[in-house]
Structure 1
Amino acid sequence: MGSNSVGAFQDLNLCPAAAATSSAVSPLLVPKIEPKQEPLDGPFFPSPSPSPSPSPSPFNFNFNFGFGFGLSTPNSVPLTPGSGNAVFTAEFNRLTQLFHTTFSDNPGGVATPAPAAELDPNSRAIVPVVEPNGHLTNVVLTPSGPKKSKPRSSELVRVTDLSPDDWNYFRELIRRTRILYNSLRVHTLAEDERLKDSMPPHRRPRADLKAAQMMRDRDLWLNRDKRVVGEIPGVSVGDVFLFRMELCVLGLHGQPQAGIDYVPSSQSSNGEPIATSIIVSGGYEDDEDAGEVLVYTGHGGQDKYNRQVVHQRLESGNLALERSMNYGVEVRVFRGFKYESGANKVYVYDGLYRIVETWFAMGKSGFGVFKFKLVRIENQPQMGSAIMRFAASLRVRPLEVRPKGYVTLDLSCKKENYPVLYYNDVDGDHDPLYYEYITASIFPPHVVGLVGTGGCNCIGDCLDRTCSCIMRNGGWYPYELNGILVRGKPLIFECGPGCNCPPTCRNRVTQKGIRYRFEVFRTKERSWGVRSLDLIQAGSFICEYAGLCLTREQAQIISMNGDGLIYPNRFTERWKEWGDVSQVYPTYSCPVYPSIPPLDFAMDVSRMRNMACYMSHSTSPNVMVQLVLYDHNIVAFPHLMLFALENIPPMRELSLDYGVADEWMGKLAICN
């Protein structure tokens, strides 16, 4: 078949007699007329009804300004057009100029800007909702009434001239949307567990599907007003997604189960489909994946057991890929695979590819399949899937993978559950070796004397909500069954050494030590950083921020020789972001129970510390601080426990919002 043309193609599914005549055509077998499916993805949402097909017009490939949309600036009061606010007008015009129509309905190739009256200032904005003070204890959350979700647009646009500030803006928008999605999913898991006795197991919807549906009903999905060709603003190569529906929510891949995302011919301006992204997950035996070069098998011709039973046809997604090759449209590539021992697949974004060749050949099953050769575009960051394979090798044989650079294979000296690697291939600085490694904070004597006092009297796990520790949490479990934090709070009470429940109690998450493998490393800027060798799920416990806790008087004396202390009250309250579902549940408000006084102690890490002290500072962090009590009852001296705010891929640096950071390096001065 010619690679740059679409012509009549012989139907190889017809019997010879029928093929010789033009009447009464009857196929040998009836294939499924479905998009390329991805195994193990379970049920999916039906696609919205397609919008009316526009009248055919010439197919124009251009980069002209074609539309506008409203955005509210992050961390600010939402702004509206027409309010006389000059700041909004300037920001609105600046951001819309970043998007350019890729395919236009105008014969001349120049798209017409949308009228101002049709612009929705909050069409893609994630705006904080101010709710009355209160907390979640004993409150039944009721979802807000669903809105009429808008149909997905068929307009193709490309983002250009994205400055660092613009990219950070969209990165924050993506980040907030992902936090909301994961918060809803964990909240749904917790609610399903609470109602498990009143709801049959087969009636419980999957939490990932339910969270996505709630966001869709409230028009919180991103990139539905325009289809972005190429890079999605705010999405980095290497980002990992634990569920297919998260890709749909962010507008990265619009098909809940199909492997090819494309604009169908019924919605295309010239009647030809155009593909924008694909997912490679090993579900087709004829796929050949060499990383930078990929041979992707088309869709169609499979039975319900995903076996190829008839020849594929040049239609739907197959035709869309061929047309994308013809017009030089790049496609996003996601790779899906099982991670470790997990039953579900994870999906990693590997960047942009160009389709350079297509042909029809007999597959391994003996039936004809369409194949598409894709080559990765140059000058992109390293593929996320390659980084994950590299991290997997480091976990089992670090010295073989990196013969040089490791100073020690366990900075913790066997004090942690897993070794903490220490890597420095930049210079000869071995400073972390000269500190005593501790896994938990050391409190003043008057606090230590109360360790082990009080606690619950539960026999076995604390399954009864009348447990005194659970009651102190407001009558709900702070963690779901897998140890994921349900929502952030001013303070969380865990069962501790003074409780009768066993160490396996589900209310003992943070005191069991680290669950992942980490590496302290020297950066090229000659500062320190921390990264994980494992994929960390959003809401997971990471480690404690450990040091020697000092009273105010002790801190004043030590600071006389130079202030090199950590002040916990300077950490920003990022815990408020985790579990904030106010955009879906109007009755939700940020928890204020228990009300604790401002933290009035300092932490000295000049002699004793752990790996948390080497984490970077960021105003858009992927790690948050959650205060926890488990070994004593003095709320003035809680443990500073660190949790993941988002899914953190392997080898990505961990970052905290310290509130106050070093002016030059963006790192905490005491530890760097």
Structure 2
Amino acid sequence: MGSKYCGRKREERSHTLPHIPCQDLSSSSDKRKRVQEALKTFRDEFDKRYCQYKSNQLDYCLKTKVLKETAVSMQKQYQCENTKKRLGHVDGINVGDLFQYRAELVVIGLHHEFEKGIDYLGKSESSLATSIVATHKYSNVMKDGCLIYEGQGTNPRVRKPLAHHDQKLETGNLALWNSMNAKRPVRVILKISGKLKYDGLYSVDKMTQGRGEFGKLVFKFVLNKLPDQPASVSLSPKDDVMETETFQKRPKSRDHAVPKDIVKINDVSEGKEKFPIRVKTPISGVELFKPFNYLVTMTSCINRVSQCGIQFELEIFKTESKGWGVRTPSFIPSGSFVCELVGEFAHHNNKNAESILHDANYIFNLGFGKGFIDATKHGNIGRFINHSCSPNLCVKDVMYDHNDKSVPQKMLFAEQDIPADRELSYDYNCFKRNFKVESNDCYCRSPKCHGQIYI
């Protein structure tokens, strides 16, 4: 069914609008740094608030509530960036940037709505859309840079309305219609495999009206990506997955697992972690590592960071040249806690220390006479994380909740945004081992590789 609005000539409405400035990336390094600092502040504060709740309360609804509370708290303390709505690109944010939560978009000013898919400025006839978020909750289709975006309105997938009715040309829908008439582009954020990707500026070129999936009239907006921007991706209607077609694929590391891996162990943690930790090997099969007792944290070491456990999916896989490794099937944002390095603690003066250190490949030397952590027989997934001269994780000491400060707790945090299927790594040199290991050669193949692990 055609809309009475679609026959209207575009020139019937006029808007006196300021020029939309182009994003000057060369002069926005300071602004981008502030945006990244705001994101780190948000993630740190969210982790702190989230861990204050008991484990049996950690459900999806509560998590969403805490995310919003964290963002609102930052707004009240003037810790957010780009707080005024604007058209065009946003300072400090690049096309292709990835985010984990909708609340992060609010904190940095990319999209100012916590739930609504269309953000806009102005009122009624003078309103203009600033940004939209395209997810699977509406019947959105993306292919070759063209987005078919379903309008805003009651949708049983979002919330169950008292009475499901036709979409109306008001609020966000009207703003998109106005943007089409005024030929003003909007920012588009796509949800890709659970992550939010800023895909750049799109023009709103057409609007139609017809029966939607649930039998009511819905608006369909046709948006096309403006030229001279990174290529976009294609949207599949299932599971928030956007299948890449024109997206420039990142070359896979030589140390990614061989294709057609099979799950050899469903959960090496035996239910001790929040997410099952799978072990994958090629179909041809490889010999598994020696059995070990899985520990969640160091004996008597309990702290506010690790007591919530691992918060991201991790899996163990067989690399090409480095033995076993760890990768993430999901996106891990910069600054996030990944896991603790866990094992048996022993002092250097321990009578069994020499025998333990001999040919030990799961030893973390703590230096300064403190001793070492031995993860050979008792440990967690941290024992499988490989070294890299250009790591994506960093090792930090955390606050002690016990009196024995000679027993340090070593935590791994994401040093940068880590995409899905990327191998995790940290710099072994931070431990300064001074005992025998099976091999000192480095196979990380990074541009900054030293050739040796312990230098």
**1:5 and 2:10 are equivalent in the alignment:** yes
From 258, 263, 283, the equivalent of 2:121 is 263
Query: Which residue type is aligned with residue 26 of structure 2?
Result: L
CA contact (8 A) 2:141 2:148 kept: yes
Out of 148, 159, 183, the position equivalent to 1:295 is 148
1:174 corresponds in structure 2 to 35
Determine which of 223, 230, 235 is the counterpart of 1:374.
Answer: 223
**Counterpart code for 1:184:** E
Distance 1:546 1:414, change over 3 A: farther
Where does residue 436 of structure 2 map in the other structure? none
Greater share of residues in strand: 2
Partners in 2 of 1:318 and 1:385 — Cα distance? 21
User: What does the per-residue CA deviation read over 1:530-587, in whole Å, with 9 as the maximum and x for residues that have no partner?
Assistant: 6422344775544749999996999xx99xxxxxx998669xxxxxxxxxxxxxxxxx
CA contact (8 A) 1:566 1:602 kept: yes
Write out per-residue CA displacement over residues 275-319 of structure 1, whole angstroms, 9 at most, x where no aligned residue: 2211223444x5445574321122347796186524522x43223
Q: Residue by residue, what CA displacement relative to the aligned partner does 1:329-377 show, whole Å, maximum 9, x if unpaired?
A: 443333458x7xxxxxx55215125235322322235654332112345
Q: Which residue of the partner structure matches residue 82 of structure 2?
A: 223
2:257 touches 2:318 (CA, 8 Å); kept in 1?
A: no
Contact 1:536 1:649 (C-alpha < 8 Å) held by counterparts:
yes
Indicate conservation of the 8 Å contact 1:179/1:645, yes or no.
Answer: no
CA apart distance, 1:260: 0.6
Say whether 1:357 aligns with 2:205.
yes
Distance (Å, rounded) in 2 between the aligned partners of 1:328 and 1:534: 37
Name the larger-Rg structure.
1
Of 118, 140, 161, the residue aligned with 1:305 is 161
Q: Cα–Cα, structure 1 residues 439 and 407, in superposed 2: closer, same or farther, change >3 Å?
A: farther
User: Residue 141 of structure 2 contacts residue 147 of structure 2 at CA under 8 Å; is this kept in 1?
Assistant: yes
Q: 2:309 aligns with which of 483, 508, 522?
A: 483
How many Å apart are 1:613 and its aligned residue?
Answer: 2.0
Work out the CA distance in 2 between the residues paired with 1:551 and 1:356: 68
Percent same amino acid among aligned pairs?
19
Distance 1:293 1:323, change over 3 A: same
| Secondary structure in 1 matching 2:386 | helix
Match of 1:39 in 2: none
* Residue of structure 1 in register with 2:330 after alignment: 534
CA 1:219–1:304: 2 relative to 1, 3 Å: same
- With over 3 angstroms needed to count, the CA separation of the structure-2 counterparts of 1:627 and 1:190, relative to structure 1, is closer
- Post-superposition shift, 1:248? 0.8
Would the aligned equivalents of 1:362 and 1:368 in 2 still touch at CA under 8 Å?
yes
Q: Counterpart of 1:184 in 2: which secondary structure?
A: helix
2:92 aligned residue: 233
1:517 paired with 2:366, answer no
Task: Judge conservation of contact 1:626–1:642 (CA < 8 Å) in 2.
Answer: no
Question: Equivalent residue of 1:159, what SS?
Answer: coil
The 5-angstrom pairing of residues 447-486 of structure 1 reads 469=300, 478-479=305-306, 482-483=308-309
Amino acid at match of 2:168: Q
Gaps of at least 5 residues in structure 1 are 9-55, 62-101, 103-156, 197-201, 340-345, 392-401, 424-432, 442-450, 456-468, 486-513, 559-564, 571-596
2:120–2:128 contact (8 Å) kept in structure 1: yes
Say if 1:382 and 1:289 are closer, same or farther in 2 by CA, change over 3 A: closer
After superposition, the Cα gap between the structure-2 partners of 1:648 and 1:354, relative to the gap in structure 1 and judged at 3 Å, is same
Structure 2 matches for 1:47-66, cutoff 5 A?
Answer: 58-61=16-19
TM-score, length-normalised on structure 1?
0.44
Structure 2 unaligned residues grouped into runs of 5+: 1-5, 244-253, 270-276, 377-381, 431-441
Q: Does 1:160 align with 2:8?
A: no
Instruction: Tell me which residue corresponds to 1:249.
Output: 107
Q: Report what 1:331 is aligned to.
A: 186
CA contact (8 A) 2:363 2:372 kept: no
Higher RCO by CA contacts (8 Å cutoff, separation 6 or greater): 1
| Corresponding residue for residue 448 of structure 2 | 666
Counterpart mapping for 1:190-205 below 5 A: 190-193=51-54
How many residues are aligned here?
Answer: 387
1:651 aligns with 2:426: no
Counterpart amino acid of residue 176 in structure 2: L
